[in-house]
Amino acid sequence: MVLPKLSVRNLVRCLTFFLVIAGVIFHSPPNYVQLTDVNLSPFQTWGHIFGCDRLGRDNFALFSYGALATVILCVPAKALTLIFASLFSFLSYVGEGRFSILIESLFSVFLSLPSLLVALIIIGVFPETKLTIILAIVLSDWAMNYESLQAKIREVKGSGYVSAALAMGGKSNQIFLLHFLPALRILIEYLFLTGIPSVIMTTALFSYLGLDTSFFDWGPGLGEQISFSKDYFEKTPVSVIFPILGIIGLVYSFGRSEN
């Protein structure tokens, strides 16, 4: 029997998953200060196999809980983005006249602005809360998803079964739910899977800027770990390398191969 070939991407996924789970199981959340372990080098003790940062927090625990917190934030945020874009697509199709024009105008404004700029404006205007971070991700990303959904809707709109449904007196909302939504399902799944890596990068940037991106008291995010330890790279290089590898591992794991 020939075993299936393990791709590099699947290998990275397995390794990242194993490291995150192992770190969560064997370590408590790194939300403490342990002055006796400040800048502890790797492989000095079994309790801190990868050393500690300049506050005495275990590097392995920082990596594991930071990666887990990133996933817990990014997956629901991307799902909400697609729900938001799908809702606007539904309203744009059902609503006619000025309402549809209003949605298209709003879409054009958001599409013309850099997504990162939109996110930073939301972060700067609203209070620093978890809801604000999710809102920033949704508003910065919904226009691109809306554009993809609208392209598919225009394709389906010209099909024969939609024309037949309209000719037989079908209502717009019924046609959208019964004909357009099933046709959009595969596209929505694709946008969800391919969009998570960009949300991970946005979350890492927020964390690097000092925003708390964790729903729980699990210590700093991956980006904040880099920002906190980058000036002390010579003393604790693992404290900088680990979160960088965590971001790369998550982005690569959630990405999709060309095949």
- Which pLDDT does position 183 carry in this prediction? 82
| 2 pLDDT above the threshold of 50 | no
Give the span between the Cα atoms of 238 and 61, in whole angstroms: 12
Which pLDDT band holds residue 1 (cuts at 50, 70, 90)? very low
pTM, to two decimals: 0.85
CB atoms < 10 A from the CB of 5, how many?
A: 6
pLDDT surpassing 90 at residue 160: no
In order of 64, 73, 126, 212, the CA distances from 253 in angstroms are 15, 16, 32, 23
Q: For domain 61-249, is the CATH number 1.10.3720.10?
A: yes
On the CB side of 146, how many CA atoms lie within 13 Å of its CA? 26
SS3 52: strand
User: Taking a C-beta distance cutoff of 8 angstroms, is the pair 51, 236 a contact?
Assistant: yes
| Secondary element (H or E) of residue 77 | helix 59-94
Q: For residue 24, count CB atoms less than 10 angstroms from its CB and return exposed for 0-12, middle for 13-18, buried for 19 or more.
A: middle
The residue with tokens 């290089």 is 237
Q: Which of 6-15, 81-90, 167-176 has the highest mean pLDDT?
A: 81-90
Average of pLDDT values for 50-71? 94
